[in-house]
Structure 1
Amino acid sequence: SWQKGTIEGEVTAGNFEWQFQWRFTAEKTLILEPSQGRALIQEPLHRFLEKWDYQLEPGGDYSFTVRAQF
């Protein structure tokens, strides 16, 4: 809801799936559930949303690359 200042969606990576809510009004906040594997995706997703939130379209599919070393 652009009027409420939020974007909601889902992220999938391998066998993981998360639901997120990005609040981009005064204080930018990212809520990501469930907690399992959240540390892998939270920071890259936050950076992606900060950069592209005004260019995202409702119902669109988007992709981004997470680079990590284990």
Structure 2
Amino acid sequence: MPETPAHVRILQQSWQQGKISGEVQAGSYQWEFQWHFRQGKLRVHPTLGRALIYEPLGRFLEQSDYHLEPGGDYQFMLRARL
């Protein structure tokens, strides 16, 4: 099965606001995101290619949110070739 690495950089984190902001890049695509972890809501911009990353990024953030730190670089694999 083809795979593409997705690189995540955490830019901001606020436990008081319940929010993590960052960037994710996979293949030639790049997005900005905000994860409102108390509400379980994820926002991804721009819309171009968002359907490719939305669900896998959401799973990654749900599994890792308490381990993510501002300035940190992380990676997960997409089960698609971009």
TM norm. shorter chain > 0.5:
yes
Unaligned runs of 5+ in 1: none
Matching residue within 54, 61, 67 for 1:55: 67
State the shift of 1:68 in Å: 2.8
Structure-1 residue corresponding to 2:7: none
- TM-score with structure 1 length normalisation? 0.91
Matching residue within 37, 40, 43 for 2:55: 43
Distance 1:67 1:15 in 2: 16
- TM-score with structure 2 length normalisation? 0.79
Asked if residue 31 in structure 1 is aligned to residue 43 in structure 2, the reply is yes
1:20-58 superposed Cα distances (whole Å, 9 cap, x missing partner): 000011x20000000000011000000000000001011
Structure-1 residue corresponding to 2:17: 4
Q: CA RMSD, aligned part only?
A: 1.1
Distance 1:9 1:43 in 2: 16
> Secondary structure at the residue paired with 1:64?
strand
Unaligned runs of 5+ in 2: 1-13
Distance 2:55 2:26 in 1: 14
What is the number of equivalent residue pairs in this alignment? 68
